[in-house]
Amino acid sequence: MDVDEKTQVPPEDKRKTMRLDGLNKNQTGAASGGRLLDRPTVLVGIDDTDNLASPGTGWIAQSLIRQLASEGFGEPLGITRHQLLKDPRVPYTSHNSSACLAIGTSADADIDALEMCAAGFLHDHAAEGSDPGLAITCSAVGQADRKALTDFGFAAKRQLLDQATAWERAAQHGVRLSGHGGTEDGVIGALAAVGLHLHGSDGFFLWMPGVRDLPPGWCSYQHLIHTLPIDDARTLTGDRPTPDTTVEIGPWIRPLLLDGHAVLLLERIEPADAPPRWRTAPRDVVKQH
């Protein structure tokens, strides 16, 4: 049940990446009201695909989104990680986090075929002894459905839930939920991942096109915004550097899912004896979300 940082890029990605260079040049960023995910999107939640010796669910998620893209189901927009309840009664390998894949699709996307592809992938690639779950829905759900699913997601962060509750909630609110081996307990986390992604302010993007290709170093804020497929780059309080300000790029870049936007979190450092400087937020700060 883990989307952890043992999730290296799948080997095939070293040969064939899904980098979308220059995406921001034609998108409307958060600062002007647009959102990267404000488009027809299919959400695919997965959980409990690993064991102690295997790559984590994040690795499976990256492999799966590549597979769905190669099969022509849509454009891979990103994968969010969502932290769930950490409790000794919950069987998990290290962190108890789940993943939600966002696939940009056309209005007439074949969801039946997408579901078959994802289910087959989990059957073939989930680790021995795991209990995989799969949840699929569209981002354009009704308000009542969205609230019910996000309530389930936040409940999974605070309390122990059972499969019966997950199956019932999915059936009531139009989510395609399925188990693919073992106890099938992964359906709980998979449904929670979809609900938390729909909420729009939980977790962070463990993968987005090109984000992991950005090398550590320094660049202008303007270059940063126009290089990465993000909606915004700012502090939690909404402060942004001027376009020509130099920003220090750290070695671990993971945009937040914040207010429905893909937001690269920045920090403004104010030394007592030097001018203020800007940097991307470090890993320990980002993982608090």
- Domain spans of the chain? 11-206, 214-286
Q: In the block, which residue shows the tokens 């040969």?
A: 15
Tell me the mean pLDDT in the region 242-268: 95
Alpha-carbon gap, residue 198 to 139, rounded angstroms: 7
Tell me whether strands 217-220 and 246-249 are parallel, antiparallel or unpaired: antiparallel
pLDDT score recorded for residue 51: 66
Q: Which of 122-131, 142-151, 179-188 has the highest mean pLDDT?
A: 142-151
Distance (Å, whole) CA 69 – CA 104 = 10
pLDDT at 26 over 80: no
Is 12 a residue whose pLDDT tops 70? no
Tokens 């920045």 found at? 266
Distance (Å, whole) CA 140 – CA 277: 40
Q: Out of 66-75, 90-99, 238-247, 272-281, which region has the weakest mean confidence (pLDDT)? A: 90-99
Q: How many CB atoms lie within 10 A of CB 269?
A: 11
Q: Which CATH class is domain 11-206?
A: alpha beta
Nearest to 81 by CA among 162, 227, 214, 192: 192
Mean pLDDT of the chain: 85
pLDDT at 265: 97
Q: Which of 8-12, 57-61, 136-140 has the lowest mean pLDDT?
A: 8-12
Q: Return the structure tokens found at 122.
A: 């989990």
